[in-house]
Amino acid sequence: MLSVLQRSGEAQNTIILFCSDHGMPFPFSKATCYEHGTRVPVLLSWPGMGKATEFSQVTESVDILPTLLELLDVPHPENIDGKSWLPIINENASREFAVTYINEISSGYAYPVRAIQDSRYSLIFSPWADGKLNSRRSR
């Protein structure tokens, strides 16, 4: 894809965002608030970006929209969910914490889990953490 963008001359007009899958390939390993369910690698590139940078600050997937809107210089409401990644990337700013929540797993079972994570710790709340599969369907 990158080669096609280069050859067509569109690379200098293109924002590239690639988000990978995450978690171990086992049942119930992705729909959790533990690190293997929340840590997702992302590649982001835009025209004029400069030198490649690596960071491991806590962020959230809801940060993608505000990041893209800021890159495109598109106004957006102040109360939009998420925060742009650009201060982290450009200014080495830090994020105090990220919030993660799961309401159900892919099988349709209700499985509410909440977490607040910072760079060192996760506080995870799971009201049904008794180790039993829950038979309450969310749909």
Q: What's the predicted TM-score (pTM) here?
A: 0.75
CB neighbourhood size of 91 (10 A): 8
Give the closest residue to 105 by CA, choosing from 29, 48, 18, 54. 29
User: What's the CA angle centered on 36, arms 34 and 41, to 5 degrees?
Assistant: 125
Provide the percentage of residues in the chain whose pLDDT is more than 90.
22
Confidence of residue 25 (pLDDT cuts 50, 70, 90): low
Q: Which helix (H) or strand (E) holds 89?
A: helix 86-91
What is the side-by-side strand order in the sheet with 110-117?
A: 98-104, 110-117, 122-125
Confidence of residue 2 (pLDDT cuts 50, 70, 90): confident
Q: Tell me: the pLDDT tens digits for 53-82? A: 788 788 888 899 999 999 999 998 889 888
Residue with tokens 């993660």: 100
Q: Alpha-carbon distance 64 to 60, whole Å? A: 8
Q: Alpha-carbon distance 38 to 115, whole Å? A: 10
Confidence of residue 15 (pLDDT cuts 50, 70, 90): very high
Q: In angstroms, what is the C-alpha Rg of the chain?
A: 18
CA dihedral 66, 68, 71, 72 (to 10 degrees): -110
